[in-house]
Structure 1
């Protein structure tokens, strides 16, 4: 597949009726940074340490099984506690659209028998594992849509990046053996 790999930026529209509709509401266009969303929500009082602990647990999970989050087709996750640990920001960049990411996340958490960090946020539905619509409603209500996204390597999937890195490593190994 021939693709021009020069940096690209996209200004995103304000959410309105012109966006295509998915199962759970508007589907934002794929941007040079792929798909993603940012939510900002209030932390339940006294739960900031639990959020940090969940981050440590997730890091250990990925350390022991680097493919643990593979079904989500993630590029990046960024979690931030701010305003004196009273608010939480979740930012995820991934290859699938919002509907697929949400369904995959709920299924992944149910499959591995873990809870979500979102349970530490005010207003998060307790029935999220059996009610994906409630999960989506929470995310949509707390979503802060971006209005500009930039990609240094635009529209490239996480799988394509990993494949390119494997090819690079193989070529490097081959060149090292020729020396």
Structure 2
């Protein structure tokens, strides 16, 4: 089975998209699901954002599966415009509604809060008010209009499985020499 790279153009209007619990459900693309949020950083909080990134990296060192419930492929966090603005990009395997609900539950469960607390307008009650969390994300979401996948529609679990098979085959070949 040959996997060919694919791209999809996403329409600007969301009128025809199916509606989920929290608004339009963007289609699964060759890059899977995801969203980009751009928001203003609270004055003087850029360093706190960086420290949060370090804390999250350390949490993953202690438990590489801490974020596993989110079915992530990638996260990218960027501070820009002289550390006054923040961009969050996430690519994952579930739709927006499930991802955001799972994120709120996960952060409450493991006690790692969210970097978003350093952003202007982020709701203080986000841990008990998922709808407010989602509203913030939707209000600051910058939908993509094109998404490309070199290995389209492949889940993070499928990628991990393929890498395990590759490692096992490599080890087997090494032992045969």
TM range (shorter): over 0.9
Pick the aligned partner of 1:36 from 34, 46, 60: 34
Deviations 1:36-84 (A, max 9, x none): 0000000000000000000000011111110010000000000000000
Q: How does 1:38-53 map to 2 (within 5 A)?
A: 38-53=36-51
User: Counterparts of 1:16 and 1:97 in 2: how far apart (Å)?
Assistant: 15
Unaligned 5+ segments in structure 1 are none
Q: CA RMSD, aligned part only? A: 0.8
- The reply on whether 1:90 has 2:94 as its aligned counterpart is no
Aligned residue in 1 for 2:127 = 129
User: Could you tell me the TM-score, scaled by structure 1's length?
Assistant: 0.97
Q: How does 1:62-81 map to 2 (within 5 A)?
A: 62-81=60-79
Runs of 4+ in 1 over 4 A off after TM superposition: none
Unaligned 5+ segments in structure 2 are none
Aligned residue in 2 for 1:148 = 146
- The reply on whether 1:100 has 2:95 as its aligned counterpart is no
Q: CA deviation at 1:4?
A: 4.4
Pick the aligned partner of 2:176 from 150, 175, 178: 178
| Count of aligned positions | 177
Pick the aligned partner of 2:21 from 20, 23, 28: 23
Pick the aligned partner of 1:158 from 153, 156, 159: 156
User: Counterparts of 2:115 and 2:2 in 1: how far apart (Å)?
Assistant: 38
User: Counterparts of 2:12 and 2:47 in 1: how far apart (Å)?
Assistant: 35
Q: CA deviation at 1:114?
A: 2.1
User: Counterparts of 2:163 and 2:113 in 1: how far apart (Å)?
Assistant: 32
